[in-house]
Structure 1
Amino acid sequence: MSLYALETICNDEQKRQFLPLAHSYDITTAYAETEAKNLPRCKPSRSVNHIVLVAQLSALDQNHPCDLQMFLVQIRDLKTHEPFPHDDCLLYGTLLQAQIYLCDTFIIATCCSAVRFQRQNPQGNDIRLLDYRLQQEKLVLWFFRWKWIGDNVVLLQQTARYRLKIMEELEDNNDKNINPSVTYSNTQL
């Protein structure tokens, strides 16, 4: 288990609950993609006790901040490793297995991604779930705050450099010769 994350993110009640389990290796952490690719005989949907659900919360009011929220959900008993009798827990395990298969096999279309428009406002226009022009300042600062050593550091640094490069190009070019893949960054709301 990522002890650093538990010690810094959890409140006191969560620390009392999860730190002893992490120290005794009753709960562990692995990336689903890494586990699926490096250990082909290991089926994450059959071996995990907890899953982390990441949900983009949305609200009809655009002024209400809606960020990604993470929820730790226990899907199996820690002593017997039997799945809980809830349909939702079995569904999460099945969804995890399906997601790993999809990530290995397909490219998820824009209609299923975070940039997809969700509800409509009273004027009939779609409301964006993630507005890149408003979020890019948050993203760049978050990338630069990332100091923890791990597999994602290089990827995050490269992403931050790319975002800065795109932002500089957009400011310098003034809508001229903009790469079509980044035109969303320059759209007026």
Structure 2
Amino acid sequence: MRLILVGPPGAGKGTQAARLVEKYGIPQLSTGDMLRAAVAAETPVGLQAKAVMDAGGLVSDDIVVGIIRDRIAEDDAKKGFILDGFPRTLAQAEALDDMLSENSLKLNAVIELRVDQTKLVGRIINRAEEAKAAGQPVRKDDDPEVFKDRLDAYNRDTAVVVPYYEKTGLLSVIDGMQAIDDVTASIESVLQGLDEKV
């Protein structure tokens, strides 16, 4: 099963992907995680990406596409995978289609977690304030200004992939403002039967 989870930062993609990993035994391919690992290892691509990520920006398509191409070729992704944080642009969506078709593969579903973005900003501000009050460091991603920049970048660049996948008939929209378990149940209803078709 090959899935894409789409939605703005803070929509709950990571939480839902973790549940899908557990249920279906396929890896979650988070470009953010892969890039953070590259940054921690101080690889050339990691060093290139670090400054951009620290500012809340998006790394170049070339860097991300290269990472994904290598990753989907690994053994644990042969049964399928969940893409989280990719594709982020139309160019990346087209590059993914090309990559998959070169390997005689295709996507099974694209799931958008649709959320109220004004409430999302409030949620992040609260999370940052709670971390400060507890004497914990605030993640760079949770700084309200950086988060707003990431949200702007999502709306400018990534939101365009939604109509792209809508045209293919692969898109399902889920209300991401529901309780976490309800979001999971909604996703499951979309995926029912898909695993039998793979």
TM-score (norm 1): 0.25
Report the structure, 1 or 2, having the larger helix content: 2
TM-score (norm 2): 0.25
